[in-house]
């Protein structure tokens, strides 16, 4: 039996290399056949908070697509836009994440959208999409409620403040209001929700840690979060039964109430909202922290933003007004380019595939990817590649967006059918907070003795030193 697949695999490989002219991608020059040498260097870089720069530099050295060994397994790494396009769009069906994420994640994420492929993924996506299609233009009233509360907590005497903790509490309130229909009131006090967040972080960390190495409290943490979500699901059923959910309108979209219209299966509902809450609860805060981090070091950009938004600062901040600010859009785009919160992602090849480009020493020959191989796509390296962005690629310069139309060279929200459904919502929320801050403060001063952005890895990558600033009205 095992003989037949072997012949089939041999035949596929032969066809790829002989008929299609595929080449092998360059290999990392390992000293250890299992790849432990690179794993050790990666660990050192990770501990020194410079893993992102370390991996980014390897592309310049070995090619936009190269292969490594990791614990004996071959992994293809790529920062080639054409290869990313092939994986995320052209050959979307042939590359999945379920084999990588499902086993570790099922105790927490169940059958949710973040850990499944195929029909299960398709169904979750179809259920979630309609609410995301309107969420970015809705909810402005709620946004204002939370943002004005956040602004009241900020110093007005120019004293130094790290914006990250407050932005995280703000994002928690905005996202729980949208997803569960009820804010967690994290802005009420710094301690509020800390216990919940600790459990959430522990559960999230646990799903990407081998079972034997997980925290002791992993199962308890999962239970705490799932119990919390189940309570929100019951509240939504009660709203639905009493007719209160129908008060939902374009101005007040509650994700959970929208979902209940489509499915009454409690387990599906639990994992749908959890899968939205997981990326939602901190990514916007981390992006905004990065935005303020860059702006504090670039007062000219802060002043340009002020010139753009001040002439309309007495008008209500509507979706249309927000969208009319061009420089604001460039600032956010540039923040995602240079400091993406999700710098890389992985897929496993499900069906052996020939990509039209990506291999050989010049990276232009067809690339054969065999079923089972893991491909790591590095968005950050692509977004900082000098050959695409010029010599000043490491510099925060929003003005570059006047001329660039980057296509697949810039995919901080991924691309293709699995693109982040919240991309527009993220732009709205970040833009809203930024404009409200610009209306309040004339100056944003850098108070951080360290100039560079230093990475800190959670599930996403955030600024280790937050955004230490002085706000001058
Ligand atoms: C700065 C903010 C954000 C960034 C940069 C971001 C980026 C991404 C990326 C790169 C993916 C694809 C991951 C992969 O396939 O491996 C993704 C997926 C996803 N994101 Fe976001 N995200 C952000 C915020 C959010 C928010 C606020 C929500 C929810 C309110 C959200 C919901 C989702 C969901 C549900 C998926 C899975 C989509 C699918 O598999 O079909 N994201 N996001």
| pLDDT value of residue 246 | 58
Atom of ligand 1 nearest to the CA of 414: 10
For residue 2, the model assigns a pLDDT of: 60
Q: Name the β-bridge partners of 346.
A: 376
Mean pLDDT throughout 337-341?
98
Could you tell me the two tokens for 324? 């009319």
Distance 229 CA to ligand 1 centre (A): 19
For ligand 1, atom 27, name the residue with the nearest CA: 280
Give me ligand 1 centre to Cα 426, in Å: 10
Helices (H) and strands (E) in the chain, counts: 18, 12
Here the CATH number for the domain that contains residue 453 is: 1.10.630.10
Partners of 161 in the β-ladder: 469
Lowest mean pLDDT among 7-21, 32-46, 279-293, 347-361: 7-21
Least confident of 8-12, 151-155, 223-227, 368-372: 8-12
Domain count, the chain: 1
The pLDDT value recorded for residue 247 is: 56
* pLDDT at residue 250 in the model: 56
Report pLDDT for 249.
Answer: 58
Q: Is the CB of 279 under 6 A from ligand 1?
A: yes
Which DSSP string corresponds to 84-120? HHIIIIITGGGEESHHHHHHHHHHHHTT-TTT--HHH
**For residues 45 and 458, which has the higher predicted lDDT (pLDDT)?**
45
Query: Is the pLDDT at 271 greater than 60, yes or no?
Result: yes
Average pLDDT of the segment spanning 396-405: 96
What is the rounded average pLDDT for all residues in the chain? 94
Domain that holds residue 198: 3-472
Task: List % helix, strand, coil for the chain (3-state, nearest 5).
Answer: 55, 10, 30
* Burial annotation 151-182 (CB, 10 A radius, 16+ → b, else e): beebeeeeeebbbbebbbbbbbbbbbbbbbbe
pLDDT tens for 20-30 read 899 999 999 99
> If pLDDT is split at 50, 70 and 90, which confidence band does 387 have?
very high
ipTM of the complex model: 0.99
- Residue of higher predicted confidence among 248 and 446: 446
What would the mean pLDDT of 85-105 be, rounded to a whole number? 96
Q: What is the per-residue pLDDT across 442-453, written as a single tens digit (0 to 9) for each?
A: 999 999 999 999
Give yes or no for a contact between 146 and 284, defined as CB atoms under 8 angstroms apart.
no
Q: Please say whether the beta carbons of 138 and 132 come within 8 A.
A: no
Q: Is the CB of 95 under 6 A from ligand 1?
A: no
CB 107 within 8 A of CB 255: no
* Mean pLDDT for the stretch of residues 422-446: 97
**Percent of the chain with pLDDT strictly greater than 90:** 83
Interatomic CA distance for residues 166 and 150, integer angstroms: 7
Q: Is the CB of 381 under 6 A from ligand 1?
A: no
Split at pLDDT 50, 70, 90, the class of 190 is confident
Atom of ligand 1 nearest to the CA of 346: 16
Probe target for ligand 1 pocket from 92, 274, 289, 420, with the most ligand atoms within 8 Å of CB: 420
Task: Report which of residues 193 and 31 the model is more confident about.
Answer: 31
Overall average pLDDT of the 128-145 stretch: 90
Kindly tell me if the per-residue pLDDT of 317 is higher than 60: yes
CA 14 – CA 42 distance, rounded (Å): 34
């Amino acid at each position: 039996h095992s003989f037949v697949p072997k012949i089939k695999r041999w035949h596929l490989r032969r066809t790829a290399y002989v008929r299609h002219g595929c080449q092998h991608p360059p290999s990392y020059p390992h000293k250890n056949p299992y790849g432990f040498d690179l794993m050790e260097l990666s660990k050192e870089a990770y501990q020194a908070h410079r893993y992102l720069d370390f991996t980014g530099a390897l592309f310049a050295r070995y090619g936009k697509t190269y292969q490594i060994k990791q614990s004996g397994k071959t992994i293809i790494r790529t920062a080639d836009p054409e290869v990313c396009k092939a994986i995320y769009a052209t050959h979307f069906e042939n590359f999945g994440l379920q084999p990588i994420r499902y086993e570790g994640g099922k105790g927490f994420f169940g059958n949710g959208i973040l850990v499944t492929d195929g029909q299960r993924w398709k169904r979750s996506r179809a259920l979630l999409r309609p609410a995301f299609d309107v969420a970015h233009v809705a909810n402005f009233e709620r946004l204002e409620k939370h943002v004005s509360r956040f602004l009241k907590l900020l110093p007005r005497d120019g004293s130094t403040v790290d914006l990250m903790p407050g932005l995280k509490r703000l994002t928690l309130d905005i996202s729980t209001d949208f997803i569960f229909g009820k804010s967690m009131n994290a802005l009420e006090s710094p301690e509020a929700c800390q216990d919940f967040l600790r459990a959430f972080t522990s559960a999230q960390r646990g799903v990407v840690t081998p079972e034997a190495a997980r925290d002791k409290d992993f199962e308890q943490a999962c239970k705490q979060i799932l119990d919390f979500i189940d309570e929100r699901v019951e509240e939504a059923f009660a709203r639905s039964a009493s007719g209160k959910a129908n008060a939902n309108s374009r101005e007040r979209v509650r994700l959970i109430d929208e979902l209940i219209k489509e499915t009454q299966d409690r387990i599906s509902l639990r994992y749908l909202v959890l899968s939205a809450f997981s990326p939602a609860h901190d990514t916007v805060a981390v992006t905004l922290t990065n935005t303020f981090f860059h702006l504090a070091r670039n007062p000219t950009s802060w002043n340009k933003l002020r010139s753009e938004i001040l002439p309309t600062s007495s008008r209500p901040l509507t979706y249309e007004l927000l969208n009319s600010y061009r420089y604001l859009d460039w600032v956010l785009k540039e923040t995602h380019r240079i400091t993406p919160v999700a710098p890389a992602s992985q897929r496993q090849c499900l069906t052996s595939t020939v990509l039209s480009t990506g291999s050989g020493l010049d990276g232009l020959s067809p690339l054969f990817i065999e079923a089972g191989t893991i491909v790591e796509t590095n968005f950050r390296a692509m977004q900082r590649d000098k050959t695409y962005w010029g010599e000043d690629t490491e510099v925060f310069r929003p003005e570059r967006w006047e001329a660039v139309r980057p296509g697949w060279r810039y995919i901080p929200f991924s691309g293709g059918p699995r693109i982040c459904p919240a991309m527009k919502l993220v732009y709205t929320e970040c833009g809203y907070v930024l404009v409200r801050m610009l209306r309040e403060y004339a100056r944003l001063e850098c108070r951080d003795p360290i100039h560079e952005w230093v990475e800190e890895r959670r599930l996403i990558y955030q600024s280790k030193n937050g955004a230490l600033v002085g706000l001058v009205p």
